[in-house]
Structure 1
Amino acid sequence: MVNLANLARLNTLCDQLRHAATPVAVLDAVGQATLDLLGPGLLTINTWQAETGEIGRLWSSDPAAYPVGGKKVKGDTAWTRQLLVRGEVFVGEGDAALAAVFDDIAVIRGLRLNGVVNVPLCEGGRVIGTFNYLTAVESWTGDQITVLRVLGQMALPAVAALAPASR
């Protein structure tokens, strides 16, 4: 059954995107819609540069904990290969799953978050960014993951516009 309230919020988002004058305005609209649709949590939207292994934060729903402009270098891990190389969604549930893949687990724990969905943002068959939502959740539903994938795709043109030119 389709949730009509979610469809109405997505319809509003489409109108906001039509009027968004800048890539940052697009990310602001998609970010707010994500929190409206999925509830409180942490959303970050990042660029990915495979050549340097660097992730750069373009947008954050919690700039105090995860400021825009923050960067990390990611090594070769199972998570990196799944999300950033193969372009497959990563779903993590529970503290142990997050601790296994995130070096900033202390910050995540401090925010009382225990579940993540990382959506790869792809252009031309290559990952150019990620759309990452963390929240307090026992387990993710297929509908939640689908909504996050759709919202990530709505953010993709803005990420492409803001991504470093060397990609």
Structure 2
Amino acid sequence: MEDAGSLIAQVNLLCDALRQAREPAAALDAIGAATLRTLGPGLLTINAWHVQTARIERLWSSDTAAYPVGGHKTKGDSPWRRQLLERGEVFVGEGDDALAAVFDDVQVIRKLGCTAVVNVPLGHQGSVVGTFNYLADRAIWSAAEVAALRLLAALAVAPVQALAAART
């Protein structure tokens, strides 16, 4: 995380980019860039959650070679699904065992050098409509990092809803 002056500059840059975004995808580009500038190198994916089909659809990715936009996964019942997608609670995973317990693609995650994840539910009117997932090389996540990710994720709710609606 950055010092207060740099953080203020990043917030202003993001607000200006969001004001100028004419499409939901451009808003996600701005939010994604701000996330990586603020929290450093890592993998960010932003997904829609289709509760009726239990499917997550990737709408934005910072690494489109490893995680292309349009990719999707069906999420069966699991503690992770219940916590993140049903109860709408943030999931913090630190270390290889935590990642392997919840991600079937942990080998790809390892190859990208990521050792920890924060999954933030995107909520609207009491329901989860998507996820904001940041993976990076961390031993632990600080409370400030998790709070910053929650705030950045909240900005992604409207663009995710617009993109998901356009695809159905």
Please report the TM-score for the alignment, with normalisation by the length of structure 1.
0.96
Q: Is 2:80 the partner of 1:79?
A: yes
Equivalent runs, 1:1-167 vs 2, <5 Å: 3-164=4-165
- Distance, in Å, in 2 between the alignment partners of 1:26 and 1:5 is 21
Post-superposition Cα deviations, 1:11-50, rounded to whole Å, max 9, x if no partner, equal 1101110110000000000000000000000000000011
How far apart are residue 164 of structure 1 and its match? 3.8
Greater mean deviation of Cα atoms: 65-74 or 157-166: 157-166
Give the gaps of 5 or more residues in structure 2. Answer: none
What letter corresponds to residue 87 of structure 2 in structure 1?
R
How far apart are residue 61 of structure 1 and its match? 0.2
Post-superposition Cα deviations, 1:41-85, rounded to whole Å, max 9, x if no partner, equal 000000001111000000000000000000000000000000000
What letter corresponds to residue 149 of structure 2 in structure 1?
L
- Distance, in Å, in 2 between the alignment partners of 1:14 and 1:159 is 17
- Distance, in Å, in 1 between the alignment partners of 2:60 and 2:81 is 20
- Distance, in Å, in 1 between the alignment partners of 2:95 and 2:4 is 27
What letter corresponds to residue 97 of structure 2 in structure 1?
A
Please report the TM-score for the alignment, with normalisation by the length of structure 2.
0.96
- Distance, in Å, in 1 between the alignment partners of 2:151 and 2:43 is 17
- Distance, in Å, in 2 between the alignment partners of 1:108 and 1:153 is 24
What letter corresponds to residue 58 of structure 2 in structure 1?
R
How far apart are residue 4 of structure 1 and its match? 2.2
Give the gaps of 5 or more residues in structure 1. Answer: none
Structure 1 runs, 4 residues or longer, greater than 6 Å off: none
What letter corresponds to residue 158 of structure 2 in structure 1?
P
Identity %: 58
Q: CA RMSD in A?
A: 1.4
- Give the total of aligned pairs: 166
- Distance, in Å, in 1 between the alignment partners of 2:13 and 2:97 is 37
- Distance, in Å, in 1 between the alignment partners of 2:81 and 2:8 is 33
How far apart are residue 165 of structure 1 and its match? 7.0
- Distance, in Å, in 1 between the alignment partners of 2:167 and 2:115 is 34
What letter corresponds to residue 153 of structure 2 in structure 1?
G
